[in-house]
Amino acid sequence: MPGVRISVIGTGYLGATHAAALSGWGHDVVGIDVDPSRVTQLAAGIAPFHEPGFDELLLEGVRAGRLTFSTDLSAAVDADVHFLCVGTPQSGTGHGADLTALWQAVDALAPHLRRGALVVGKSTVPVGTAARVQERLEDLVPPRHGVEVAWNPEFLREAHAVEDSLHPDRLVLGVASDAAETRLREVYAPVLRDGIPAVRTDLQTAELAKASANVMLASRISLVNMLAEVCEAADADIERLTEILGLDARIGPRYLSPGIGFGGGCLPKDLRAFASRATELGVDSASELLGAVDAVNTHQRQRAVDLTVRLLDGHPHGRNVAVLGAAFKADSDDLRDSPALAVAGAVSQLGACVRVFDPQAGRHLRDRVDLEVHDSIESACAAAEATLVLTEWPQFAEVDPVALGRVVERRVIVDGRLVLDPTRWARAGWRVHAFGRGETT
Ligand code: NAD
């Protein structure tokens, strides 16, 4: 079967990965972005971000001639399916989503739509947006063109974006017609052949599916972090507790790790956008519940800062603090709303000399005047009076505590992600403070 001609509008973490996956399935794909440097990089087969497996997939598509990139939407004129993958960040003035990029993309795309084209939203948007996109296109495109809107939210996780795109848990096909479903099934034929479940639903349920998944995940993390704080206060063991909870088939073991909280370009802003939209719809319970989830999450960052100050005997000014990890999660270089970076910045604001090492995100921090960026763990930790592990990079768990103990000024470490073996570190003479576990000496 010949591939489908597709455009992907917005080539950030989501769009670039989606475009590369689509081309890997044999479709002809053009990726469109307003950022010329991003387009130049991608067109040359160079990944603009760190994402395992992405470089290879991108290069394969570009070399095969099935994946091209442009800043000009007229390059999308031959496509029958257009995926909207632009950013939907938190608005600068409130908790709702800023849909400026989405409307710009829709308006710019309209003149290039062929007869019968399908416009598929993939960005995470407030419920009701798809219907507005359909209305907008009906205003801009003659009705005889029969242009239709569908919503097909994306559930990929950064750091696993390629794997999740190629082998998703499920597909959500938010459609208003059988023809739109058929077209989407054609696009996803290779995934559907693997037996991945595809749920057909209406546009608004599809929009809600993604936002609701993030709301549930965020709530679960804050719930676990609250339990961790109670464990510390009651001298209980959060790791045994979460093991016990995870063995309950109704709860399950995943997403039960305590730490300095969630961040990144999705969970925090999706949580707030969901609550804001629910309030608009007259549902007040959402902001009550999710406001607490958000507050518990932010509180974890403050807890890490307070703990650091306490470990520096209340005098952070002029003290050397090593921060291991800046990205919001391991195997990513994404710094958007990163808890690690927020803690590093807050400790620096208190006058400490903060030295950061991150295997991938460090290069994006060079213009931060408040942080010293280092190229190795040892260099960041030289003469440190407190060391903070704030991103769960696997190499941090493998550090030799004896060797690092010779580099630092004081063997004091905060494990904000529960990646260290406390007994091993304590045996090497370190005071280990872990979230939910308290101090091990
Ligand atoms: P991003 O900021 O990495 O990428 C957005 C891209 O859109 C940028 O490259 C930007 O230049 C481009 N853009 C902005 N306006 C444009 C326009 N008018 N035309 C063409 N391109 C334009 O964002 P992201 O992380 O890829 O997220 C995109 C959407 O996907 C968001 O709604 C997000 O919530 C959702 N999402 C993200 C992830 C993720 O893990 N990052 C997962 C699922 C869903």
pLDDT tens by residue, 168-201: 999 999 999 999 999 999 999 999 999 999 999 9
Catalytic residue among 85, 231, 266, 353: 266
Q: What is the pLDDT of residues 125-163, one digit of tens each?
A: 999 999 999 999 999 998 778 899 999 999 999 999 999
Which is nearest to 159 in space by CA: 300, 328, 324, 398?
328
| DSSP β-bridge partners for residue 9 | 32, 84
Report the pLDDT averaged over residues 8-13: 98
Any idea what the Cα angle at residue 35 is, between residues 31 and 37, rounded to 5°?
Answer: 95
Query: Strands 320-324 and 171-174, how do they pair?
Result: unpaired
Distance 406 CA to ligand 1 centre (A): 44
| DSSP β-bridge partners for residue 355 | 322, 372
38 lines ligand 1 (CB under 6 A): yes
- In whole numbers, what is the pLDDT of the chain averaged over residues? 96
Three-class DSSP category at 429 = coil
* Number of residues assigned to the chain: 441
pLDDT of 243 reads: 97
Q: What is the pLDDT of residues 403-418, one digit of tens each?
A: 999 999 999 999 999 9
Look at ligand 1, atom 1, and give the residue with the nearest C-alpha: 12
- CA end-to-end span of the chain: 64
Q: Given the CA of residue 269, which atom of ligand 1 is nearest to it?
A: 34
The answer on pLDDT for 435 being more than 90 is no
Which is nearest to 101 in space by CA: 85, 118, 83?
85
266 lines ligand 1 (CB under 6 A): yes
Q: At what angle do helices 13-24 and 54-63 cross, to 10 degrees?
A: 50
Look at ligand 1, atom 22, and give the residue with the nearest C-alpha: 10
Q: Given the CA of residue 155, which atom of ligand 1 is nearest to it?
A: 43
Distance 16 CA to ligand 1 centre (A): 9
Classify each residue of 332-351 as buried b or exposed e, where b means 16 or more C-beta atoms within 10 Å of its C-beta.
bbbbbbbbbbbbbbbbbebe
* Residue 381 annotated in active site: no
Look at ligand 1, atom 12, and give the residue with the nearest C-alpha: 10
| Mutation to probe ligand 1, out of 17, 83, 266, 270 (largest number of atoms < 8 A from CB) | 266
| Mutation to probe ligand 1, out of 11, 13, 120 (largest number of atoms < 8 A from CB) | 13
Report the pLDDT averaged over residues 316-334: 97
154 lines ligand 1 (CB under 6 A): yes
ipTM: 0.99
Distance 291 CA to ligand 1 centre (A): 25
pLDDT of 105 reads: 98
pLDDT of 440 reads: 85
The secondary element (H helix, E strand) that includes residue 285 is: helix 285-311
pLDDT of 1 reads: 64
97 lines ligand 1 (CB under 6 A): no
Q: What is the pLDDT of residues 30-59, one digit of tens each?
A: 999 999 999 999 999 999 999 999 999 999
Q: What domains appear along the chain, each with residue ranges and CATH number?
A: 5-201 (3.40.50.720), 211-294 (1.10.1040.10), 299-440 (3.40.50.720)
Which is nearest to 1 in space by CA: 192, 200, 173, 198?
192
101 lines ligand 1 (CB under 6 A): yes
- Report which DSSP code applies to 340: H
What is the pTM (predicted TM-score) of this model? 0.95
The secondary element (H helix, E strand) that includes residue 29 is: strand 28-32
Q: Using 50, 70 and 90 to split pLDDT, how confident is the model at 73?
A: very high
The secondary element (H helix, E strand) that includes residue 225 is: helix 203-234
